Structure 1
Amino acid sequence: MLKKSFVIISISAAFYAQAQNISVIKNSIDIYSNTPMTGSSKFNAMAGSNGALGGDANSLMTNPAGLGVAIAGDLSVTLALTNNKNTSSLAGSSIGYNVDKFNVGNVSGVATIQLSPKTAWKFINIGANFSTQSAEEYIESPRNTNVVIAKQLVDSNGNAVNGNMSYMGHAYNRYGSQSKFNLGVGANYNNSLYIGASVNMHYADIDQYDTALFGLDLDNSVNAFDKQYTPYSEKSNGFSASVGVIGKVTNQFRLGASLETPTWWNVDRIYTDHFTGDDGYIYYNTYGESRDFRSPMKATFSGAFVPNKNFALNVDYTLGLTKPKYRVQGAAERELNSFFNDNYKNLSEVKVGAEYRIQSFRIRGGYAYASSPFDAMTISSYNDAGVAGDNNYSNFILGDRNTIGVGVGYDFGNFYLDATYQNISSKYKNPFLKGDADAGTGYYSGDFDVNTPYSVVSQVKNNRDNFYLTFGWKF
């Protein structure tokens, strides 16, 4: 029988090493910097491209000036069925896992207030939009027994023994949801200039797990180990504001621009601190902390071509103006901010959407491309043969994202019904396993800890199939 290794970790060391948890870096971008963009079926079919078109409350997600374009009240509810599949590949093997979710993805409405014909101001409109989506994700990477980590242990007779820990598999597991509520106002000046502004409330609730399997050659056992400071839970609230403008260059061409401030987040976090007691057994304590995070500021520039009432084409370009940043409370936040300063690329996304009308029938389509948020990086990692060295990776942690949407709709007069299929795909390199023995940031079981200064990196293909059905009422 093996006794447990003896490691003591202090709270100061725990805070210092938190940034080594890759899931914290990923969630900072994936959750807190990319808020839900689930709109109506029309919005989703056009890949979210509506910055110079507007006309309904979904404009609040791109350009609040689009509220001013509306000439009639509108209320819609969108049901969303999503399939999120991650396929992780490593050393010639692959593991795929699906997460299916059904929910009310969007509720939005706009009320129009027509002004006196004696003024050039035609409408002042008030709109509200609520979007929500699941944050659940499971990434299981295959084993690679070529990756072996030496471990010094003590047997039941008190003798020092040298064991070898073989890597047998890994999983990032995240549960939760995220949502965004927009409340805004838009105005129409002389049917040629539209302005708008909104306040945006954000919410996220996630539970994150980071687990590895290791096999020990001394007794041929296989056990699960939790990454230091996991599992952790976060309940977060954020606030941002947006302003925008749309102008008609001619009756057929429109230009738009909008600016969204950073989202100022307050993140209440509960995490698990593993340590080895004086008796040699592994224990853990749960600690809480509150963090402040600021997501990047974003600007969107738009152009639309509307030659007649039957066809509309819109192009949006969104650019990140700042980098994500944590308020520094200790070494952990300094490490995170240093990582973002050195490796984060400002957001760059292009969206193109179009709609064609045949009497009461609508056909829509769209495409969007967002670049990877991180530069290519060189890290110390194992290759497939289990040899450690410096390796360079592009699309690291998160990758380029492609979105394709197609949809149809029918206008019954006061009511309308829309349906959309949307596919979102990306590929990225998925690092895990790295830990610092001195800081105690490795993986812990009930028996002992495992540390290695090298990462294992799998290739992940993420594919999301989304189906939307919108019921709308115009008044």
Structure 2
Amino acid sequence: MKRILTFIMVLACTFASAQTIDDVLRYSTENMQGTARFQAMGGAFGALGGDLSAIGINPAGSAVFNFSEMSITGTNYNRNNDALFGNSLTNSTNNSLELNQVGGVFVFNSSNSPWKKIALAFNYDLVQNFDNEYFASGNTSLGIDNYFLNFAQGQALGPLRTQPGEFIEDAYLDIGSSLGYAAQQAFLGFQAGLIEPTEDDDNNTSYFSNADYSGVNQQFSQVTNGYNSKFTLNFAGQYQENLYLGAALNFHNVLYERFTYLDESGYAQDSPVQFASFDNFLHTEGYGFSFALGAIAKLNESIRVGGSYQSPTWYRLTDDTAQRINSNLAVSDIDFINFGIINLYEEYRIKTPEKYTGSFALVFGQDGLISLDYSYQDMSKAELRPNGDPSFAAENNFIASTLGAVNSYRLGGEYRIDEVSLRAGYRFEESPYENGDWIGDLNGFSAGIGYNFGGSRLDLAFSRTEQDVNSYFFDGGIDSAALVNQINTNISLGYVIKF
């Protein structure tokens, strides 16, 4: 009966978790999503407006609409990952289909006021789709025993033992809630037989590895899913003939899940450890809030300029984790520590940096347009909160010294031939790291076509981005990583109706 109640018992346990720079970057980055027209033109809409996803760049854009309209967009996401690890290259692909944009704008015209037009808009955008996976396989000199040794050194042996009559899963949960994450990882390594104390004494704090090797074969896979969605409420107005002003409130909803699986073999023939496996699960849920202000000015019939401010996003998040481990030396009950045994963590907060965008556009009457956006975001200002938490303070210092300013450029164009619109775009975004070897710059291009039926429009878009990322197997302990070349290809279909 006690084993059945273990899952319920852990729901009352909270303790400090180990959030890192990776969590900050995950929720600070908004990948280009939006309507098919928006994606086809590289998201370069800061000085244009007139598109529901454009209010995410510049909230003044809703006042550019001449008619009320609704739009809906679906996207097929294709992820292609080439993972280089231990001189071996492995390819993985993933496909998912999502309804990534739904919104509407209501336009109210006035002839007796300097405010010629008022617009109210709402829009749902999937700003980040976390559905992805990669697989890495290769030989390395850094075995998983080093992960557990890193956490075990300095931990007393006594708490790492199970007490008479105590179930192993209860001991695992108890040590996590009372002594923290490091002691819990040391417990796993000891119970799995991967590490041993130098002395058989409860006060011992020194450990050695049970694994003997010059190199080991590792197979690692990571599967992620979830989303970061943004629901926007927008208000904007056209003042006289040439000025548009707007504001927006953004409400984020976050769901993120990550499964990682590690299998290790290839030890020396006389090594006590002959195989090991270590799997981890992370589940994150939460919500966030931000606001935006913006303006667009028509300097003449052809030239438009825009500027916008996007506030920091304030997230409130909670994590829960689960683990499982095995080896040929593991205690017989090790399987009772599994993905059904959950560690709950206290709520934490993330503040992402504000973003500034300047935009310029040339409009050639009804024939077409060219648009350019430039955005600046200083990622070194990102923070984990509460600031008074010592572990957060240390990580925030690391963030401030490691991350830097991100300059982003988006270029888009559209050419109209009667009812047909041809579109293309280019996107470049600098690495958030001062040292671009950790995460490289992002490059992307896009193209699309639209057909105007008069009261409605059908849009099709293709977009492709590429970026190199050093993907670490674990958030701490050891720095094993695969260099992953990420190529994301989106095909989007959108429908717009005016009323």
Q: For residues 396-425 of structure 1, what are the alpha-carbon distances to aligned partners after superposition, in whole Å with 9 as ceiling and x for unaligned?
A: 1x3211121100011010011110111011
Is residue 111–residue 127 contact of structure 1 (8 Å, CA) maintained in 2? yes
Is residue 59–residue 294 contact of structure 2 (8 Å, CA) maintained in 1? yes
Q: Does 1:262 align with 2:312?
A: yes
Q: Give the distance between the partners of 2:82 and 2:391, measured in 1 at CA.
A: 31
Report the 3-state secondary structure (helix = DSSP H, G, I; strand = E; otherwise coil) of the residue aligned with 1:142: strand
Is residue 49–residue 61 contact of structure 2 (8 Å, CA) maintained in 1? yes
Report the 3-state secondary structure (helix = DSSP H, G, I; strand = E; otherwise coil) of the residue aligned with 1:296: coil
Is residue 134–residue 177 contact of structure 1 (8 Å, CA) maintained in 2? yes
Q: Does 1:341 align with 2:341?
A: no
Matches within 5 A, 1:434-453: 435-436=476-477
Is residue 430–residue 442 contact of structure 2 (8 Å, CA) maintained in 1? yes
Instruction: Give the aligned residue type for 2:133.
Output: Y
Deviates more, 1:233-242 or 1:33-42: 33-42
Instruction: Give the aligned residue type for 1:261.
Output: S
2:484 to 460, 464, 469: 460
Q: Does 1:67 align with 2:62?
A: yes
Q: Give the distance between the partners of 1:264 and 1:54, measured in 2 at CA.
A: 26
In the alignment, what sits opposite 1:224?
277
Number of residue pairs the alignment of both structures matches? 412
Q: Does 1:363 align with 2:359?
A: no
Q: For residues 366-394 of structure 1, what are the alpha-carbon distances to aligned partners after superposition, in whole Å with 9 as ceiling and x for unaligned?
A: 00100011122xxxxxxxxxxxxxxxxx3
User: Residue 177 of structure 1: CA displacement?
Assistant: 1.8
Is residue 56–residue 109 contact of structure 1 (8 Å, CA) maintained in 2? no
Compared CA separation, residues 330 and 212, structure 1 to 2 (3 A) = farther
Q: Give the distance between the partners of 1:179 and 1:161, measured in 2 at CA.
A: 45
User: Residue 49 of structure 1: CA displacement?
Assistant: 0.7
Report the 3-state secondary structure (helix = DSSP H, G, I; strand = E; otherwise coil) of the residue aligned with 1:335: helix
Q: Does 1:403 align with 2:444?
A: yes
2:36 to 31, 41, 60: 41
Q: Which runs of 5+ in 1 are unaligned?
A: 1-13, 155-159, 377-393, 437-453
Compared CA separation, residues 361 and 286, structure 1 to 2 (3 A) = same
Q: Give the distance between the partners of 2:221 and 2:431, measured in 1 at CA.
A: 22
Give the alignment's TM-score, normalised by structure 2: 0.77
Q: Give the distance between the partners of 2:358 and 2:483, measured in 1 at CA.
A: 34
Report the 3-state secondary structure (helix = DSSP H, G, I; strand = E; otherwise coil) of the residue aligned with 1:144: strand
Compared CA separation, residues 275 and 15, structure 1 to 2 (3 A) = farther
Compared CA separation, residues 152 and 199, structure 1 to 2 (3 A) = closer
User: Residue 61 of structure 1: CA displacement?
Assistant: 1.0
Q: Give the distance between the partners of 1:131 and 1:161, measured in 2 at CA.
A: 49
Q: For residues 246-305 of structure 1, what are the alpha-carbon distances to aligned partners after superposition, in whole Å with 9 as ceiling and x for unaligned?
A: 1112221111000010001000111347899xx897557612210011011001000011
User: Residue 335 of structure 1: CA displacement?
Assistant: 2.9
1:190 to 231, 237, 240: 240
Q: Give the distance between the partners of 1:305 and 1:269, measured in 2 at CA.
A: 47
Q: Give the distance between the partners of 1:219 and 1:168, measured in 2 at CA.
A: 18
Is residue 278–residue 325 contact of structure 2 (8 Å, CA) maintained in 1? no
Q: Give the distance between the partners of 1:139 and 1:274, measured in 2 at CA.
A: 20
Report the 3-state secondary structure (helix = DSSP H, G, I; strand = E; otherwise coil) of the residue aligned with 1:289: coil
Report the 3-state secondary structure (helix = DSSP H, G, I; strand = E; otherwise coil) of the residue aligned with 1:52: coil
Q: For residues 50-83 of structure 1, what are the alpha-carbon distances to aligned partners after superposition, in whole Å with 9 as ceiling and x for unaligned?
A: 0000013222110011111111111111111110
2:453 to 412, 416, 420: 412
Compared CA separation, residues 108 and 336, structure 1 to 2 (3 A) = same
Is residue 426–residue 446 contact of structure 2 (8 Å, CA) maintained in 1? yes
Instruction: Give the aligned residue type for 2:114.
Output: A
Compared CA separation, residues 221 and 410, structure 1 to 2 (3 A) = same
Q: Does 1:295 align with 2:291?
A: no
Q: For residues 194-249 of structure 1, what are the alpha-carbon distances to aligned partners after superposition, in whole Å with 9 as ceiling and x for unaligned?
A: 000000011110112343322244367433213xxx42211010000000001112
Q: Give the distance between the partners of 1:471 and 1:434, measured in 2 at CA.
A: 42
Compared CA separation, residues 349 and 66, structure 1 to 2 (3 A) = same
In the alignment, what sits opposite 2:131?
136
Q: Give the distance between the partners of 2:39 and 2:76, measured in 1 at CA.
A: 13
Compared CA separation, residues 435 and 293, structure 1 to 2 (3 A) = closer
Q: Give the distance between the partners of 1:177 and 1:224, measured in 2 at CA.
A: 29
Structure with greater helix percent = 2
Q: Which runs of 5+ in 2 are unaligned?
A: 1-14, 147-193, 198-207
Report % sequence identity: 25
1:324 to 369, 382, 385: 382
